[in-house]
Amino acid sequence: MTNNPFIFTTIDGEEHASFNPKYKESISNKKYQYLLKKSNIPEFYWGIEFSDYIGDISITNLDKAKQYSKKCFNKEFNHIHLYLYGKENSTQKTAVAINVGKEVMRKGYSVQFLLASTLINKLLKVQGYAINEDIENYIDNLKQSDMLIIDDIFDNQKSIMWNKPESSALIISAWDMFLRDIVVSSTKVVMTSNVPIDMIKEKFGESMFHLMDRNFISLGFYDAVKEHRKRKFDNIFE
C-alpha cells in the first residue's frame, strides 16, 4: 500500500480515490534518509535522538533546542541562529545540534555538518591570492544549504592555529567574513563550542563578540556523559 499514492474504495457501486497517507510517509522517510546520507553527519549519531539525552541540569535548554528545531524556519526566527556551548567535552552538545539538524531534515530541508577546523582551513586558503576553485565551490555549496552545523568553533584545543599569533588574526578575519555573509542569508547556523559567548570578547575581540551575541541564541549544556560511557565500555566484557 505504501507504493500507491491513492487508496481506492467502492461506495454504492462507484469507485472513489483518496490520498494514501502511508505513501506520503514513505516518500518523506526516503527523502530524510537521502538527506541524512548527504549531510556528512557521522553515522554514530544517526540513531541518537533527543530522547537519548542523559541528565537533567540542562533540560530547559534542551527543550529550547527542540523548539528551535521545529520552528527555526518560521518568520519569527528569521536570521536567528543557535550557539550550543559546554565548558567541557562530552556534554552532549554535538548530539543536540545534530538532532536539531535531523528534525529539519525530516521536514525536507538540507543540512551540512562540518568540523570548525575543516571550515577554517578552507577559509584561510581562499584568503590568499591563489584561486582554488574546488574550495570556493565547497564554500558556495555550504551557503546553499538550509542549515549548517559547525562543530567545535573557537576551540584552541581542536585547531592549534588559534594559538599561533601569526594565524589567529587571519582566522578571525576569515571567520568574520564568512559569518557576516551567512547570518543575513536564509541559511540557519547551529554551532557548538566549549567557549561561552561572553568569553569571545576577551579571546577574539569585541567585533566577533557582538556579531555572535546579536545573531545567536546561546544555550548552555552541562550534563556530561563521560562517566556513563566509561561504565558502558566496562560492561561489554561482563
Q: Within 13 Å, how many C-alpha atoms sit on residue 24's CB side?
A: 7
What pLDDT is recorded for position 204? 84
What pLDDT is recorded for position 43? 96
Q: Is 57 helix (H, G, I), strand (E, B) or coil?
A: coil
pTM: 0.85
Single out the residue of 114, 112, 167 nearest to residue 144, CA to CA. Answer: 112
Residue with grid cell 567574513, as numbered in its chain: 177
Digit-by-digit pLDDT tens for the chain (238 residues) are 556 666 656 676 666 666 666 656 677 889 999 999 999 999 999 999 999 999 999 999 999 999 999 999 999 999 999 999 998 888 999 999 999 999 999 999 999 999 998 888 888 877 665 567 888 888 889 999 999 999 999 876 666 556 666 667 778 888 888 999 999 899 999 999 999 999 998 888 899 999 999 999 999 999 988 766 655 655 655 5
What pLDDT is recorded for position 212? 94
- 217 exposed, middle or buried (CB, 10 Å; 0-12, 13-18, 19+)? middle
What pLDDT is recorded for position 132? 76
Contact assessment for residue 153 and residue 117, using Cβ atoms and an 8 Å cutoff: no
Q: Is 49 helix (H, G, I), strand (E, B) or coil?
A: coil
Measured CA distances, 223 to 45, 88, 120, 227, 236 (Å): 18, 10, 28, 11, 23
Distance CA 17, CA 8 (A): 5
Single out the residue of 98, 107, 48 nearest to residue 74, CA to CA. Answer: 107
In order of start, what are the domains of the chain with their CATH numbers? Answer: 17-235 (3.40.50.300)
Distance between terminal CA atoms of the chain? 45
Phi, psi of 9 (to 5 degrees): -130, 150
Distance CA 111, CA 46 (A): 13
Distance CA 48, CA 85 (A): 19
Q: Is 205 helix (H, G, I), strand (E, B) or coil?
A: coil
